[in-house]
Amino acid sequence: MKFDRAVLDRFTVNRDLGDYLRATLLANATTPLGMGYGRTRFASPTDAFRLLYAAPALVTCVAETLVRDRFAGKSKRDLTQEEVETWGVTVVASTAPLRLLDLTGLGPTQLGVKTDALFARNQKAGRSFSAEIYEQAPTLDGLIYTSRHSREECVAVYDRGVGKLTAGPVHPLMMLSALVPALSDLNVRLIRKP
């Protein structure tokens, strides 16, 4: 799909990220801004680019990385401490404003983006959309979008925008005092493996 340049420009914002959070496996703690080729909502379907995801709130990081759809249709919502112990969180900030396409309001509608690209469990439409944006808007550093799990803001920063980011040390998720309230907000209970 060819996007209307005027509409892209209308919904492109310059955003400074201050104290956004990124969840990452502790195994990757030495590279807090590291990225791989994944199978995430806005990942390249052909491994042409990589992404870094971050959010202003811990509840959104936990919802997007650990919880996702695993408890859909389930009344028992238990997350094991052993799994949580493999995760860490780093604070990400920008050193210069990022040029981001804002997909939280009317932008997707005016651009003709399928709702599946933003909210479907199957992420194929989101990946296709992201690849088209990456190719057609080479000055964009990434996307602002709404988490389909927490309905809060998230950012997906393309590899070409990560040079504008810094990250602090990765802290074990289990050590964060905000973890228990975040899990409570998601109606998830932290348990030890039986």
* pLDDT per residue as tens digits for the range 72-108: 888 889 999 999 999 999 999 999 999 999 999 999 9
Q: Residue 78: its pLDDT value, please? A: 92
pLDDT at 191 over 80: yes
User: pLDDT digit string (tens) for 123-134?
Assistant: 899 999 999 999
- Stated pTM of the model: 0.94
The mean pLDDT value for 132-150 works out to: 95
Residues 71, 84: Cα–Cα separation, whole Å:
16
Residue 4 three-state SS: coil
What are the sequence ranges of the domains in the chain?
5-191
3-state SS record for 45-87: CCCCCCEEEEECCHHHHHHHHHHCCCCCCCCCCEEEHHHHCCE
